Amino acid sequence: MKIIIGLTLIVLLALLGSRRTFTKVKLPLAARHIYLTGTEFILVGLCLGGLMLGLLDFKALRGLDPLLHLAFGWIGLLFGIQLQIGRVGHFGRQYLLFALLQAVVTFFFCCLPFLLLLPVLGIQDDFVLLGALTLGAIAVPTAQSSLAMIQRELGLGRNKLMEMLSYVAGIDAMVALVIFGFLFCFAHCQKLGNIIALVNLQYVGISIGLGLGTGLLLHFLTRIRCSQEELVLFVIGSVAFCAGAAASLGVSPLFVTFLSGMMIANLRGQKARISRALNTLEKPLYIIVLIMGGAMLGPVADWPLVLLLAAIYIVLRVGGKVAGGLLSSGVLRSPERIPRPVGLALTSQGGMAAAMVVSFHRAFDDELSNTILMMILVAIVINELIGPFLARFLVRGAR
């Protein structure tokens, strides 16, 4: 019976949702923010998951593990492959520093307060730092999809400000992934109960070796002439192998495949074809992550308190983004095209944040990760709701 309800729900959502989402039917603004950014799939996952219908129960989620890890790897590779070293600073050094500083400020803005707040939930001392670092790292990325939506809506085809915002969002993701990768390495020390630098370094080495090794593997596989079908097979195989090895060895699949992507981006090979192949499945895999993220959410005992912490997190994140923008533009003598409250346009928190939190939950799968999953999913939905308003406000002001 649950399956029939689930099937009906999916078909209904698909028919109603997709038709409205992808056609030009005008929806109320707030609803459009949810629909057009794909956030509704978190709610679909929530309906299908253990908390409601139970269609995507623990066993089914474990069965779909290869797909989920494939999605993590795909997303990591996709970000990495865009990162040609020579092009990272194409906006100029000042902009790069601005983006980096803004990201770091946001990270600390969300991480430090939670060192004090997480113990309220009864989280053991050993895990408070891990939780706070995770919340900080996940606060950094900015959703490209909502920037693209605003660009489309306001008809800002080749607007310099939008290009710069998109560039900052790209750097955000890079910073977030690097922090996230190191965080996984740090987690091993947590498990061991004391911080031993060598253990840390060992996992850092595994991450880097695995990432660069897979990058080389994919490079060699695709260097010889191969059909598009073969190329897709090589990408799927390499990404799943790398993400699976990363997850098995307890390092971050997102970070490791990000490194693989960087490796490919900076070698002379088939990067354009690989990038095109990655783009074809990007959206479906994001949707899988969002649905499975919603479905993974387990019961949270102290949910009113968690919701309160989620609200605090949202405020801190918006504050961090704004403060990061103000501070960076102040310290670096604001590059002329950047409005000072630029952080307002960077508050949407989309797919990358979802991928990070789902990856964290999949790797640690305990009370802490469930609490963080709930907080972040709530934050994503709310940020997708308010982010585009704030961004629109900033962009209109700048015009």
Partner 1 sequence: MVRLQVLIFVCLSMYLVAVVLPDAYIMMDAASTLSFGFLVLAAYLFAELLARMKLPRLTGYIAAGMLFGPSALGFLTPGVIGDLKLVDDLALTFIAFAAGGELHLDMLRRRKRIISLTLICQVVFVLIGVTAAMFLLRSLFPLTASMSMIQALGVAAICGAIAVARSPSSAIAIISETRAKGPFTEMILGVTVAADVLTIFLFAVVLSFSDLAISGQPVDFTFLLAMCGEVVISLAVGLLLGAGISLYLAKVGTELTIFILGIAFLITQFSYGMTSVLHDTFAIDFHLKPMLICMTAGFYLRNFSRNGDEFIQIIDRSSLPIYTIFFAMSGAALKIEALQDTWLWVLILVGMRTVFVYLGSLAGGKLGGDSRVLRRVSGLGFLTQAGVSLGLIKMVSDRFPGFGDELATLLVAAVAMNQIIGPVGLKYALSRAGETRESRACSPQA
Binding site for partner 1 (CB under 8 A): 2-4, 6-7, 10-11, 14-15, 18-19, 22, 55, 60, 62-70, 213, 217, 220-221, 223-224, 229-230, 232-234, 236-245, 247-250, 281, 283-284, 287-288, 363
Can you say whether residue 335 is alpha, beta or left, with left for phi > 0 and alpha for psi between -120 and 50 degrees?
A: beta
Closest CB 326 distance from partner 1, rounded Å: 40
Can you say whether residue 38 is alpha, beta or left, with left for phi > 0 and alpha for psi between -120 and 50 degrees?
A: left
- Burial of residue 152 (CB within 10 Å: 0-12, 13-18, 19+) is exposed
Cβ proximity to partner 1, 63 vs 205, nearer residue: 63
The single residue listed with the structure tokens 């499945």 is: 281
Structure tokens at 207: 């991450």
Cβ proximity to partner 1, 4 vs 198, nearer residue: 4
Closest CB 229 distance from partner 1, rounded Å: 4
Closest CB 112 distance from partner 1, rounded Å: 30
Closest CB 279 distance from partner 1, rounded Å: 13
Cβ proximity to partner 1, 208 vs 236, nearer residue: 236
> Which residues have C-beta within 8 Å of that of residue 109, sequence separation ≥ 6?
136, 139, 316, 317, 319, 320, 323, 324
The single residue listed with the structure tokens 């050993």 is: 126
Rounded CA separation 348/384 (Å): 5
Cβ proximity to partner 1, 2 vs 160, nearer residue: 2
Closest CB 132 distance from partner 1, rounded Å: 23
Cβ proximity to partner 1, 109 vs 360, nearer residue: 360
Closest CB 8 distance from partner 1, rounded Å: 10
CB 318 within 8 A of CB 347: yes
Closest CB 94 distance from partner 1, rounded Å: 41
Cβ proximity to partner 1, 96 vs 232, nearer residue: 232
> Which residues have C-beta within 8 Å of that of residue 28, sequence separation ≥ 6?
none
Cβ proximity to partner 1, 240 vs 318, nearer residue: 240
Rounded CA separation 99/182 (Å): 20
Q: Tell me the DSSP string of 10-52.
A: HHHHIIIIIHHHSS-----HHHHHHHHTTTHHHHHHHHHBTTT
Give the residue among 362, 358, 81, 74 at the shortest CA–CA distance from 243: 74
